[in-house]
Amino acid sequence: MTRFNDTSSLLAFLKSRKSASAKAMTGPGPTPAQLREILALAVRVPDHGKLAPWRFISFTGEARARIGDKFAARWKELHPDHGDDSLAFMKGFMMRAPVVVAVVSRAATHPKIPLWEQQMSAGALAFNVELAAQAHGFDATWITDWVAYDDAARKMIGLVDNEHLTGLIFIGKASAPLEDRPRPDVDQLLTEWSG
């Protein structure tokens, strides 16, 4: 007996799932209630030791413009010779989708659970946010860009010292049909262990 009432639609979803382009995303995004539901599904993720070594920060409405202004100021500091176009891009960076969720890894040294496993759980969580958003009929994409690797940008987002930005999940509706990409060939990836 299957665990799903409608296995074929679940399989069809998994078979066709793909990311949206942040460049071609529009609204509507999830309502606050829908976002809560999406995140409640997302936290059902493998987590060795039940540490919940992660958290979320959401960006909606005007807050997306305010963080964009901060990113642009930092971008100017890092690249004083870059033109107005790249500054405008950074100002609008978070405005590309109606809702952006930062998935934050707060992995820390633990007597039993390796850091790596905690970080992998955060990666699984980020993908689960994407899946849960897509299952709700939204489009989504996972972006890190330079802001995940610049200390000043990470502080602007609200991360503290031991935290890492696993990703920003942009959630909205694609304004154009999603394009797929060639997928890896499983036969090239799989070997059968023969001892």
Ligand X SMILES: Cc1cc2nc3c(=O)[nH]c(=O)nc-3n(C[C@H](O)[C@H](O)[C@H](O)COP(=O)(O)O)c2cc1C
> Which chain residues interact with ligand X by CB under 6 A?
18-19, 141-145, 167
Of the pair 15, 112, the CB lying nearest ligand X is at 15
Least Cβ distance, residue 99 to ligand X (angstroms) = 16
Least Cβ distance, residue 58 to ligand X (angstroms) = 18
Fill in the DSSP letter of residue 179. Answer: P
Least Cβ distance, residue 153 to ligand X (angstroms) = 13
Query: Do strands 54-60 and 25-26 pair parallel, antiparallel, or not at all (unpaired)?
Result: unpaired
CA-to-CA distance for 180 and 163, rounded, in angstroms? Answer: 33
Of the pair 118, 141, the CB lying nearest ligand X is at 141
Q: Which residues contact 150 (CB under 8 A, 6 or more apart)?
A: 74, 78
Of the pair 10, 62, the CB lying nearest ligand X is at 10
Q: Which residues contact 117 (CB under 8 A, 6 or more apart)?
A: 48
Least Cβ distance, residue 16 to ligand X (angstroms) = 10
Of the pair 60, 134, the CB lying nearest ligand X is at 134
